Structure 1
Amino acid sequence: MNKTRQKELTRWLKQQSAISQRWLNISRLLGFMSGVLIVAQAWIMARILQYMIMENIPREALLLPFTLLILVFVLRAWVVWLRERVGFHAGQHIRFEIRRQVLDRLQQAGPAWIQGKPAGSWATLVMEQIDNMHDYYARYLPQMALAVCVPLLIVAAIFPSNWAAALILLGTAPLIPLFMAMVGMGAADANRRNFLALAG
């Protein structure tokens, strides 16, 4: 598959996200909230360790920080679960619309054209190959935005306490989206192959 075709397929895949843009935006927002809660967890744990190790404060006097830590853990678990639900709903909605478009196209093409391929290949196309696009929309696309936002959030949280560490993280931050993109390109390639079957 040539580069021009790859760009066309990528553009088509991203255009389909408009079908469920609201749910994808909610998924991104929940992912950002999860990042904020991760920072809050780390901050509370650091404060607890400082109180216990550096200041020798007894554990009995740290009931409030421990309670806050448990609450943040529970809240983050709920946000992650909710994000998975929202992402699933977005992927499900998009798959439903793509499947409807394919069935409409087959209906327009007529029985003579459909008989050119075995019935099993059409069933695989309509069911399995469209279902394989789910992770691209439910996880990969929302994660692309978070790959930029969450590292910047972490740097912003660290900067007031240790500007040198924040600068080091800021310098290495571009590597995070790069590695995530390398992982994500595998998923994107799989979805492009599925689309080739759709287009064929």
Structure 2
Amino acid sequence: MATWQEAVWVPDLSALGGRRARQSFTYRAFIPDRLDPAALSFSAATATDIAEAESAIAVADHGQHLVAMETLARLLLRSESVASSRIEGLECSQRRLAEAAFAPEHAGETARQVLANIDAMRRAIELGAGERELTVEGIKGMHELLMREDRATGQFAGEFRSRQNWIGGRSDSPRDAAFIPPPPSTSSR
């Protein structure tokens, strides 16, 4: 059953900000239910929709317009990656993205991060479409591709987190955060 875990934040005493920024405080991190693969199921209507979609894809894959389908798939992948990047606050025009793909060494950090998102999404699709089992190393490889261009957190690319993270609020502590996920110590439970 999903719960909340209380923890004490011990701040960096050399952190910027006033006295409040250097004070300890208690926060609550969300601990979700464990996934039970045996309990995952689709309704009959959803299963029918999935079967119909698979059939349509199979027909399209064997059709005469395979090159057009591959082009469409690349465009959809790119569009999805750009939209996903926007959620993270990374805005990049299609022109800047194309220039970055052509000459990454001259691209801005945001464009390189969006390209990294595209590469990570491509790897995720390859892993999901393959016959191999999804492994921890496969997940770490996707994370490395995704985070390699992030100046703030790139040194953690391809690694499981070892520190608490949060969404919203301050950048130096979970004070005033909108959401605090499980602490790293509970990630493998």
* TM-score, structure 1 as length reference: 0.29
**Quick check: which one's strand share is greater?**
2
Larger Rg: 1
Query: Relative CO higher for 1 or 2, CA cutoff 8 Å, sep ≥ 6?
Result: 1
